[in-house]
Structure 1
Amino acid sequence: MPIHVPPKPPVFNRAAADSSQASTNRLFWWLQCGGWTASFLLSYLSALAHGKPASYWEVSLSVAGTGFVLTLGLRGLLRRFWELPPRHLVLAMLLPVLLVSALMGGASMITVFRWCGESCKPASPLAYGAYLVNNLYVVMTWVGMYVGLKYYRQLQQQTRQALAADAMAHQSQLKMLRYQLNPHFLFNTLNAISTLILDRDGSTANRMVQSLSAFLRHSLDNDPLQRVTLKQELDSLRLYLDIEKVRFAERLRIDYEIEPECYSALLPGLLLQPLIENAIKHAVAKRIEGGRLAIGARRSGDMLELRVADDGPGSPKFEPGASIGGNGVGLANTRQRLQVLYGAQQSFVASNLAGGRGCEILVRLPFEVGGAPRE
């Protein structure tokens, strides 16, 4: 079965959580101080506009100061009851909101009476009630803004968590696809090594073991999420081909058709290996005379075109309407990796060559230049 290296579980970042909480607290205090300062200024300037003397600031300040302190208590209740369903939260906060509004009205009434004496006292109990509920709309506005901003912050956090989870799933999928190795390749290589040992060809067997070790170390150690240059990809591909050349000797012939400017182009690591492995399996291993492979790369506008072709008998899988897959993972794996990485900006076309002699796989992806030296 394919080798699957599971991703590491996410590590809870206490520092990030503390930083987020500190940012939320700073935002609250800025809004709390700024909001009640604005309420004080609005009340005071409105009083001046209606002919009140400059000393009326005492009244406006008492109301704003009382509201500043009492809404801190509302904040504590909201945080305590936050996990309740919305309907239950409204019912739980109804009485505290009315109480805070009444206390603010009482502070306003006491300050007004002290400021202007008996002449400001209401003439009826109904007027006293008006004083008590006069600030209800201010308190309800504060609660509405607090709830709205808290929901908004939670939505932002959930969005970030969803994006992080999506990114982790995306990376895990890439790692899974990248670490899948065809067991047939390993079995065939180990069988070839066993045959060499039985034939007492120790030097060749040792060279093959070293080549296999180098290829596996390269394929498993490199970061599957990092792209490589075509030059680096061909270097790693030669590690694989060194193993296959020991197996097939003169039966395996390889031609390279690489445009010089393409050596620095970026592509996913080990992209070509499963394509070459598929060609060797169907066009070389099954034929006594072996076969010839062609590996090409050229630039077409802003796209990089990669070509892997063979001179074998062709494949029914590449006929129009046929699906690529079966029990193997090579071609399907490559196609899925390209889809995950590039979306609609890539293409993967596998077809039989004209005349029924050989197969050809063409891969197109965006041409992006890295830092590898050109040849």
Structure 2
Amino acid sequence: MNGTAEKFIANKDKPPFWLLHSLGWMTYVFIFTVDNVFFYREFNKLGFEVFFPLVLSGIFAALLTWPLRYIYRQCWGLPSGWLIVAIMLCSLIVSGIWTPAKNLAMWYFYEDFDVLPLIIGNPSDDFRWYMLFMSVSYAFFMIFVWSTLYFGINYHFRLINEKKLHIEAVRLSHISQIKMLRYQINPHFLFNTLNAISTLVLRGSKDKANGMLIRLSTFLRFSLDNDPEKKIRLYEELKALMLYLEIEKTRFDDRLTVKFEIEPQTEALLVPSLLLQPLVENSIKFAIAQMSSGGVIKVTAKCQNGTLQMEVADNGPVQDNAYLDAASDVKGQTASSHTGVGVQNIIDRLNVLYPDSHSFNISRGLTAGYHVKISIPMEYS
């Protein structure tokens, strides 16, 4: 991001310089006015003898420190040692100008000092020029405090800006990762479906092939119309799954039976789009396709302890497949190099979307098949 954009972002959060500058010196006038009134213990002294000279002193200081803003802007890139030297030197110069002006104002109001002879160069015999610089150390301290506040406030808002930029960079990185993982699903599924359509055409089943093409286009339209960065309701996810299953039912006819056990309250909950389809696809590939008849896939969803529990189970033969290399409840585990794209895709997407609040578990059935269980936090649209 260029410097202009960075400055613009920082200026949206940081109060204007003139506001902080004015409030700072008004606070100086207020504090020392209260201090002097308390010292005199006579509130009628608040007039010309206390308030006005402090106001003039504050105005002098405000006018003298205003240009320091432009000088300090050129010092941001200095090493810390040279920066301290620059601050001390500027504070010394400004305090050397402010101290005489402040002292003259104080003498004029406090001691009825005649300023005009001094200005024209004809002071009284008992006047000593060094007296103009009395309390210069106090003035140096005040200007040094102003300078450190200037850098401290600007560093604070720069840090806030850097944190915002970092958070935005992380967010964009996550979005890119989610999109990459989501778009990985479509070519994987498309390859398998087009193979099936090609097989139907070769067998002469043109009507079935045409029906599969229509269902495929509907499914892909659903996939492309959904923003991969956003979550969808489980109801919409199940509709997409049914579109996919209609395509697969064309391939397997009576060999495939799908059962849904979906609690009504879960349908409004948010889930990552196309989360269940790769699991059903694996069950079809490694279970139903290996069976001559009686293939069953069961999809369930229920709410439990503030989480959405989803499961895809099949009754296929127990054998090595993509599931075996996907770790149960272990994030980031690499799936099978042969057929693990879908499973690994789900693991990666869950790691990005729910880094510390999900579970992904794969287990063998007691007699046959595999069970894939996903647990994510309950989120309502």
**If the length of structure 2 is used for normalisation, what is the TM-score?**
0.83
Residue 97 of structure 1: how far off its partner (Å)? 1.6
Per the alignment, residue 336 of structure 1 pairs with 348
Per the alignment, residue 64 of structure 1 pairs with 58
27, 35, 46: which one aligns with 2:24: 35
Q: 1:326 to 1:12 in 2, by over 3 A?
A: farther
Q: 1:219 to 1:121 in 2, by over 3 A?
A: farther
214, 219, 225: which one aligns with 2:218: 214
Please say if residues 48 and 54 of structure 1, whose CA atoms lie closer than 8 Å, have aligned partners that are also in contact. no
Given the alignment of the two structures, is residue 147 of structure 1 paired with residue 151 of structure 2, yes or no? yes
Which one is further off, 119-128 or 204-213?
119-128
Distance 1:267 1:23 in 2: 35
Which one is further off, 36-45 or 69-78?
36-45
Residue 121 of structure 1: how far off its partner (Å)? 9.1
- Structure 1: gaps of 5 or more residues: 1-9, 371-375
Per the alignment, residue 353 of structure 1 pairs with 365
Which one is further off, 32-41 or 126-135?
126-135
**Which residues in structure 2 correspond to 1:1-375 (within 5 Å)?**
18=8, 20-21=10-11, 24-26=14-16, 28-51=17-40, 54-56=47-49, 57-115=51-109, 116-117=112-113, 127-181=131-185, 183=187, 185-289=189-293, 291-316=295-320, 317-318=323-324, 325-327=335-337, 328-355=340-367, 357-370=368-381
Q: 1:255 to 1:134 in 2, by over 3 A?
A: closer
Distance 1:211 1:302 in 2: 36
Q: Secondary structure at the match of 1:145?
A: helix
Number of aligned residues: 358
Residue 136 of structure 1: how far off its partner (Å)? 0.9
Structure scoring higher RCO (CA < 8 A, sep ≥ 6) equals 1
Please say if residues 308 and 377 of structure 2, whose CA atoms lie closer than 8 Å, have aligned partners that are also in contact. yes
Distance 1:277 1:133 in 2: 80
Residue 41 of structure 1: how far off its partner (Å)? 3.2
Q: 1:206 to 1:326 in 2, by over 3 A?
A: same
Distance 2:147 2:303 in 1: 61
Q: 1:220 to 1:62 in 2, by over 3 A?
A: same
Distance 1:122 1:53 in 2: 30
Residue 234 of structure 1: how far off its partner (Å)? 1.1
Residue 66 of structure 1: how far off its partner (Å)? 1.1
Per the alignment, residue 117 of structure 2 pairs with none
Q: 1:269 to 1:11 in 2, by over 3 A?
A: farther
Q: Secondary structure at the match of 1:257?
A: strand
Which one is further off, 183-192 or 236-245?
183-192
Q: CA RMSD in A?
A: 3.1
Residue identity opposite 1:66 in structure 2: F
Please say if residues 257 and 297 of structure 1, whose CA atoms lie closer than 8 Å, have aligned partners that are also in contact. yes
Residue 262 of structure 1: how far off its partner (Å)? 2.6
Distance 2:278 2:124 in 1: 91
Q: Secondary structure at the match of 1:65?
A: helix
Per the alignment, residue 373 of structure 1 pairs with none
- Structure 2: gaps of 5 or more residues: 115-122
Deviations 1:318-343 (A, max 9, x none): 48978660122211221222232223
Deviations 1:274-306 (A, max 9, x none): 110111110022334472211122232422221
Per the alignment, residue 7 of structure 1 pairs with none
Residue 49 of structure 1: how far off its partner (Å)? 4.8
Please say if residues 305 and 362 of structure 1, whose CA atoms lie closer than 8 Å, have aligned partners that are also in contact. yes
Residue 178 of structure 1: how far off its partner (Å)? 1.8
Distance 1:326 1:354 in 2: 23
